Amino acid sequence: MGQGTGQPRIVDFDALGRNDTARVGGKNASLGEMVSKLGARGVHVPPGFATTADAYRAFLAHNGLEAMLSATLADLRGSSMSVQEAGRRIRQVILGGVWPADLAAEIEQAYASLSARAGVDEVDVAVRSSATAEDLPDASFAGQQESFLNVRGPRALLDACRRCFASLFTDRAISYRQAKGFDHLSVALSVGVQLMVRADLAGAGVMFSIDTETGFDRVVLVDAAWGLGENVVQGAVDPDAYQVFKPLLNDPAVVPVIDKRRGGKLQKMVYADSGPPTRNVPTSRAEREAFVLSDQEILTLARWACVIEAHYGCPMDMEWAKDGRTGELFIVQARPETVQSRRDNAALEHYRIGQHGPVLVSGLSIGGAIVTAPVLVIDSPREMDRFVDGAVLVTGKTDPDWVPVMKRAAALVTDHGGRTSHAAIVSRELGLPAVVGTGNATHVLHDERTVTVSCAEGDQGYVYDGPAEFRRELHALDRVPETRTRVLLNLANPAAAFRWWRLPADGVGLARMEFVIGNHIKVHPMALAHFETLTDAEARGEIDRLTRGYADRTEYFVDRLARGLARIAAVQYPNPVIVRMSDFKTNEYANLVGGAEFEPAEANPMLGFRGAARYYSPRYREGFALECRAIRRLRRELGFGNVIVMIPFCRSVTEADRVLAEMAAHGLERGVDGLEVYVMCEIPSNVVLAEAFAARFDGFSIGSNDLTQLTLGVDRDSAALAGLFDEQDPAVRWMIRHVIEAARAAGAKVGLCGQAPSDHPEFARFLVECGIDSISVSPDSFLAVKAQVAAAERAGAGAGAGYGKPED
């Protein structure tokens, strides 16, 4: 038994729980909670023990340090001593302290027991600090105290514990407590001693049970790198990044990994043979080109994340490791997520970029804001005195020593790091827009250069040269009216889809496949199918680079397309998500990598080889087969059975039959496995023969832009004819009313995707009056159109027209 409270000063994890934060800090209390409560639910946590707050205070008392600490901290409060001087003085006296003999013996005995449990004389352990005020809902304490890995032997363990005690008074920890209003002397330091997972022989990383950028609460994010996990936490490597869709995790028939990105992983932390216990070594080319985790391992970690989140009742931030000797996965830390889970969900903030200069560097976007400011490149926290408040801080990577200067920055740009790195975590907590993992920002950017940092365009963040036009929008979500007419979203960018998850939409009415191909894949599918005959050497080189790691180049297209669409489908699951098959024009297809060799030159691509005509043509049939493979994978393997397929620019019923037969040949047969197939209504023939098209398709989506163009004979891209292009022209309205009536009479669903309802309230009223089933609009127009539709319904528009929400 120890001093003070009469409680044990050394406690095994399995005797601790979440209520023991005051004794062992949040980190160790959480480890104990998981060991004692979640082991039976399959969550693996390495065993270990913790020293308590009483042990820390006994160490201070034995060395007579309380008075010195009080006096030094009083000088700090009185501004007669700097943070750096106070911290240095306190750390020196703690590191010079000696252990009480009885406390040292207790630690050594606990270590001997843990070694015996592992079946060795002296087991290697991780020694981590756990402050008694850390991991609270409003304070992450990310990296404020020290951790030591590959510690072996009682003498090395006692030394590591003493260094943990001293780390309670690092400059960064002192500054952080001051900022959060914690009394330094009321915070104690517990040390967690945990069996090392031999991740140096495999990999490790970080995991969140919520999307860290948008707060989307139905995904698990997993970052992974080779070797020990410190490199991921510190942002020293660019890790693999995986996203898993929670609602489908318990379906054994599907693998809902909706995003997989291979990181650079240029180095890994391993055990050292001599000197410091760990060191970084370069990874092999094979390691850089391989994923750290298999799909099944990703799913196991994601399921554990859901179990841990459900147990704690809040989104969680976790660290995991894989043992290279046994292949076992472990959770080695868990704490509450402290940013998105505390955000006000009553309003949706959105930044919109306008005119801007060329891209200088890009990386992962953290936060959703846009900032224009001058650059300051800082190599080390020692240079922070020359930092100018309100500048863009550019550096290689950050650790907790950078926090004081990060607080003074307008934005942060780093060479290295992933979404779960220190730079990302602290930037979110500070509300600081950041672009991390650019690779070369410190080489490209220079002091005093004015740049615009944009984190408002999805997963990818950009640093543009010079000032840019942008605006901030705030959308209230607390008074969105209910409507009988469904209002859906037009989405195209997988990287930005999660930003709109809070909108109470009824589904996605238009997901443009060509946008995903153009921005997420970049390669013409026929150039992948016929790579060996491709003559463009530059295109071959670019395709080799993009498809690295894929044994089959066409698999690159299928995999990227399926997962890109999955991120869009996840936002509205289980509501319907209508994916339109590719509708590039030939000039747009030709701009894809390798595309020029496969596309004819056309005088009028808008009316040329586009849409349905391509799908059965020898010129593109193999490309369409890859699109079908991606949709089949999206629905069957990833699990998004809510996806509806839509065929664009289908000129005739004969063409409809040929496309449907082509789809069926590639495993997408209408009606099988619940597959619905819609057709775009954008050609007058679709209206004239609406009954015949309704016999072949489950629904129509009116494309008002092309329908207006072809009804009025007006080139929608012609500036000279812009005044004649009017979606509200009586002829266009007749077309729309007629196809809505014909579709409803035939029992087919009918919606409209276009800008007109957003721009013209009277057009929304017209559609409601016609009895349309759904209207699909851009996310920034959703709330306005929803209000217009509700007003039209309240006014009795369409009364007696028989409109309403159809049976799904």
Tokens of 480: 């969105």
- What φ, ψ does residue 775 adopt, rounded to 5°? -130, 130
A 10 A CB-CB count for 725 gives 17
306 catalytic residue (yes or no): no
Residue with tokens 């391993």: 270
Q: Is 475 designated active site?
A: no
Distance CA 252, CA 258 (A): 16
As a whole number of angstroms, the distance between CA 640 and CA 761 comes to 34
Catalytic entry in 44, 422, 455, 628: 422
Residue 328 CA, distance from chain mean position: 26
- 636: which DSSP letter? I
Exactly one of 161, 164, 650, 753 is catalytic; name it. 753
Largest CA distance in the chain: 94
**Amino acid occupying residue 635:** R
Q: CA-CA distance, 105 to 511, in Å (whole number)?
A: 65
State both tokens at 50: 């913790």
Tell me which residue of 121, 132, 116 sits closest to 50, measured CA to CA. Answer: 132
Closest CA to 365 of 508, 493, 510: 493
CA distance 496 to 498: 6
| Residue among 487, 567, 565, 370 nearest 781 (CA) | 487
d(CA 759, CA 772): 18
What angle do the packed helices 83-95 and 154-166 form, to 10 degrees?
Answer: 160
The C-alpha angle with vertex 679 and arms to 764 and 596, in degrees rounded to 5, equals 110
DSSP for residue 518 = I
- Tell me the sheet residues that pair with 124: 152
- Residue 118 burial (10 A CB sphere; 0-12, 13-18, 19+): middle
β-bridge mates for residue 701, sequence order: 680, 751
Return the bridge partners of 510, or none: 490
d(CA 377, CA 384): 10
Sign of the CA dihedral running 752, 753, 756, 762: positive
C-beta of residue 21 within 8 angstroms of C-beta of residue 118: no
b (16+ CB within 10 A) / e for 565-593 = bbbbbbbbbebbbbbbbbbbbbebbbebb
Positions marked active-site: 422, 753
